[in-house]
Structure 1
Amino acid sequence: MSTPTVFLYNLDNPRGAKIRRLCLPLGLRTALVPRESYGLPLGELAAGKQPEAPYGGEGFDDEMMVLSDCPGRLLDLLLQSFRRNKVAPVHLKAVLTSTNREWDSVALHAELCREREAIRAGQAAAHPQKPL
């Protein structure tokens, strides 16, 4: 099994540094994903491959986190650490799976945004606004 790794997008900043510090005591390796690697399939990114040519498409500016080779208990500990240290969650997060490992970062970002919007729409339908 490979080293559990957290891939961080758009977190090359002080907030990302806090998240990287949360990962250290848990034995989670972290990697900042540069925009040039957005076109690389996630499975290849996790394997440490570099893109043959830099990604030239539009990217995205949202923060995103992808966990690779991270057992469920370790994921739970990481999320607890976010709460315990009062670090706001990264809203777009995923675990590398056999389904998404062929996707590139942009495709995963689009899917996570669709899922987030579907959840918001479902919550809005379940809790409609009362008329004034």
Structure 2
Amino acid sequence: MGGTLLLFGYDQLPVILAAEAAVKPFGATLQVVGPRSCGLTLGQLAAGESAPTGAAPVALGGQMAVLCGLDRHVDALIPALQKAGILCPKAVLTDTNRSWTPPALLAELHRERAALERRR
């Protein structure tokens, strides 16, 4: 098992604890990412790196969750996260997006959602 859920833009302890409880049955850990680490790439964050001391905060502009190493659990994990109150855009870490920063991924998720809504 294993894997990590990167959680961005959340600071309410009850929701964070509920998210942690949701990923635990999948053998995953929860990593809450703060604004100072949003300048790192998703790959760096998934590897457990943190921002250097004194790094300036980077505005994310919303909430987001990124599933790292949890690809085969997506179908079961997404409903568990929604039940835990994680109602934000979600993505899976891929070879394509691992070099992106969190703000770049969130912007792409918003573009994709807007495109889907225009098709409806």
Whether the TM-score (by the shorter chain) exceeds 0.5 is yes
Pick the structure with greater CA Rg.
Answer: 1
**CA deviation map 1:22-41 (0-9, x unaligned):** 11122111100000001101
The structure carrying a bigger helix percent of its residues is 2
**CA deviation map 1:46-70 (0-9, x unaligned):** 111122352444331x220001111
Q: Is the 8 A contact 1:65 1:90 kept in 2?
A: no
Aligned length: 118
**CA deviation map 1:48-101 (0-9, x unaligned):** 1122352444331x22000111132x1222124346xx4455331111101000
**TM-score, normalised with respect to structure 1:** 0.78
> Residues 25 and 102 of structure 1: is their aligned pair in 2 closer, same or farther, counting only changes over 3 Å?
same
CA distance in 2, matches of 1:103, 1:75: 21
CA distance in 1, matches of 2:16, 2:63: 9
Decide which moves more: 33-42 or 87-96.
Answer: 87-96
**RMSD of equivalent CA atoms:** 2.0
- Secondary structure (helix, strand or coil) at the match of 2:99 reads coil
Alignment-derived partner of residue 112 in structure 1: 109
Alignment-derived partner of residue 21 in structure 1: 21
* Paired AA for residue 96 in structure 1: L
Q: Is the 8 A contact 2:5 2:29 kept in 1?
A: yes
The alignment-based identity, stated in percent, is 34
* Paired AA for residue 95 in structure 2: S
> Residues 82 and 7 of structure 1: is their aligned pair in 2 closer, same or farther, counting only changes over 3 Å?
closer
Q: Is the 8 A contact 2:3 2:29 kept in 1?
A: yes
Question: Which ranges of structure 1 fall in alignment gaps of 5 or more residues?
Answer: 124-132
Question: Which ranges of structure 2 fall in alignment gaps of 5 or more residues?
Answer: none
**TM-score, normalised with respect to structure 2:** 0.84
Match runs of 1:1-132 below 5 Å: 3-13=2-12, 14-52=14-52, 54-60=55-61, 62-72=62-72, 74-82=73-81, 86-88=83-85, 90-123=87-120
